[in-house]
Amino acid sequence: MIIRKANKKDVENIITVIKESVLGTHQELYPKRDIEETLNNYTKEKVLKYIKESDYFVVEDNGEIIGCVLVKENKMRSLYVLPSHMGKGLGKKLVLKAEDCVREKEYEKIWLWASLVAHDFYKHMGYKDIKDIPNEDGLVLHIEMEKYL
């Protein structure tokens, strides 16, 4: 198992990881419209742009991409792991990789918008709540969090 920078050949597999992760974890907590909006944000064109313009990492196991995380400046985004591989420490490894990336850029802190699904995970990783992020209907579906490095 390795964590490496994503490349353009990984786009389809990254989209699959994101789709399976969101559909496997978000359906009981999020309105259908918000799930669709999240999934629609990961088109081939957007993922390719993210790969070109940001630090996008994937976890690869036996040639299969099973997780990903995106780092842009000092923001961590798009941390996803296939549901079949959750609970094995991959999310933690991806967070540590993202933190190392931000540290190398000499930022003092990293921040993110945690989903309700991942909020406790990030708290366990040392992140602190900043503010709630509501959707257009006023439902809190994300929490802005930060961690000093």
Name every residue whose Cβ is closer than 8 Å to that of residue 94 and which is 6 or more positions away in sequence. Answer: 3, 57, 59, 67, 68, 69, 79, 81
Parse the chain into domains and list their residue ranges. 2-107
If DSSP codes are grouped into helix, strand and coil, which group holds residue 127? Answer: coil
Q: Distance between CA atoms of 91 and 117, rounded to whole angstroms?
A: 13
pLDDT digits (tens, 9 = 90+) for 38-61: 999 999 999 999 999 999 999 999
Query: Whole-model pTM?
Result: 0.94
Name every residue whose Cβ is closer than 8 Å to that of residue 6 and which is 6 or more positions away in sequence. Answer: 14, 51, 56, 57, 58, 68
pLDDT digits (tens, 9 = 90+) for 75-116: 999 999 999 999 999 999 999 999 999 999 999 999 999 999
What the block records as the tokens of 64 is 């299969």
What ranges in 27-89 are assigned the alpha helix state H?
A: 32-40, 44-53
The CATH-assigned architecture of domain 2-107 is 3-Layer(aba) Sandwich (3.40)
Task: Name the amino acid, one letter, at 97.
Answer: K
